[in-house]
Amino acid sequence: MRTLKYAILGLIKQSPMTGYDITNEFNKELIHFWNAKHSQIYPELKKLVTEGLITYKTEISGEVLEKKVYSITEKGTKEFQEWLMTDDKIEPTAKDRFRLKMYFSTITDKETLLRLLNSQTRQHFEKLSSLRERFNQYEGVPDFSDSRFGDYIVLEGAVMREENYLEWLQKCLDYL
């Protein structure tokens, strides 16, 4: 599938950046639907260079610190757009360790279950709060021509997903 490849191509297409920048994008902007560690990103960047999908030029920060600023090539742009336009089958599973535990819930006692459900609720509520904070910085929906449109809709999707998870947790609590 090589989704990381396309995630990187998409980020570099938005604007040229370093491996370090890409790592930050994953940890800050894309964290709610994709992520990767720098140990995965640097080798992938090398691979994309040998495949001719990106190029880089070395810049100097301060006196000696070298950084590689990557740009997408025409070939890279073409492959990225082909990927973007491809209609995928929905993924079969979204693994969720907590749901797995709940499947086995009758093997334990109500007190334990309440403790786990309350903890999950707290954590998801915190996550929802920080998502809402970011989401509320938007004043209305950006137009499709606005480059922030994508960020807006996935952020709204993340908020909705958290709200829904909390609803489910509450339902489980009500059943006990």
Query: By C-beta, is 1 or 85 nearer to DNA?
Result: 1
SS3 155: helix
- Angle (CA) 110 128 139, round 5°: 155
Shortest Å, Cβ 17 to DNA: 9
Q: Which of 60, 64, 65, 100 binds a second copy (CB under 8 A)?
A: 100
Sequence-distant (≥ 6) Cβ neighbours of residue 71 within 8 angstroms: 12, 16, 54, 55, 56, 57
Residues 82-111 that bind DNA (CB under 7 A): 93, 95
Taking CB under 8 A as the rule, does residue 55 contact a second copy?
A: no
Query: Interface residues with a second copy (CB under 8 A)?
Result: 1, 3, 6-7, 10, 13, 30-35, 80-81, 84-85, 87-108, 110, 112, 115-116, 119-120, 123-124, 127, 141, 144-147, 149-151, 153-154, 156-157, 160-161, 163-164, 167-168, 171-172, 175-176
